[in-house]
Structure 1
């Protein structure tokens, strides 16, 4: 199970790096190359969405079927273990949501750049006529 979270954390880190790379100022030729490369990678990277959704469902299922440690019967070790699992679950939810949010941000940035490029080409064609 830890391998899945490590993979998702690496994907989130890569998405954050790509989002930062897309938003940095760059010459037009370099930006067009970066946007073209990222737009080719968007479809294979879209698999992160169902993967994160499955992980969220897994977290929800585990939360619903977890033994609650809220009574006086729990020992200190059990209470600490329960709190650790809750913190891990919260961290993993944030990781899943950030993976989906970063993918959406990258998609929108690429779409805006493509739209700007198409508008610039249309303006150039109109100027030539």
Structure 2
């Protein structure tokens, strides 16, 4: 179980790095090259959405079928284990949502950069006429 969360953590880290690289100010030529490279990576990286969605469903199912430990019959160790499981589940939900949201942000940034590039080309053509 821990391997899938490790993979998702690395995916989120790479997505954050890509988002930072895309949004850093840079010369036009370099920015256009970076955006085109990231756009090529976005299509195969789409697997992040169903992977994170499946993990969210798994977390939801586990939350619905989790044994609760809120009565006085539970020992301190059982209560600590229950709270630790809740915190891990909350962290994993945030990780899944972050993976989906950052992927969407990267794809929108790339789309806006491409639209901006095409508008600049149209402007150049109109100025040259």
Shared fold per TM-score greater than 0.5: yes
CA distance in 1, matches of 2:50, 2:73: 40
Q: Displacement, 1:128?
A: 1.4
Q: Displacement, 1:124?
A: 0.6
Deviations 1:35-59 (A, max 9, x none): 0000001111111000000000000
TM-score with structure 2 setting the length: 0.99
Could you tell me which runs of 5 or more consecutive residues in structure 2 were left unpaired when the two chains were aligned: none
1:77 matched to which residue of 2?
Answer: 77
1:126 matched to which residue of 2?
Answer: 126
CA distance in 1, matches of 2:37, 2:111: 13
CA distance in 2, matches of 1:53, 1:85: 20
1:13 matched to which residue of 2?
Answer: 13
TM-score with structure 1 setting the length: 0.99
What stretches of structure 1 move > 3 A for 4+ residues in a row? Answer: none
What RMSD over aligned residues (CA atoms) do the two structures have, in Å? 0.5
SS in 1 for 2:43: helix
CA distance in 1, matches of 2:123, 2:99: 36
CA distance in 2, matches of 1:80, 1:65: 18
2:35 matched to which residue of 1?
Answer: 35
CA distance in 1, matches of 2:120, 2:64: 53
CA distance in 2, matches of 1:44, 1:15: 13
Could you tell me which runs of 5 or more consecutive residues in structure 1 were left unpaired when the two chains were aligned: none
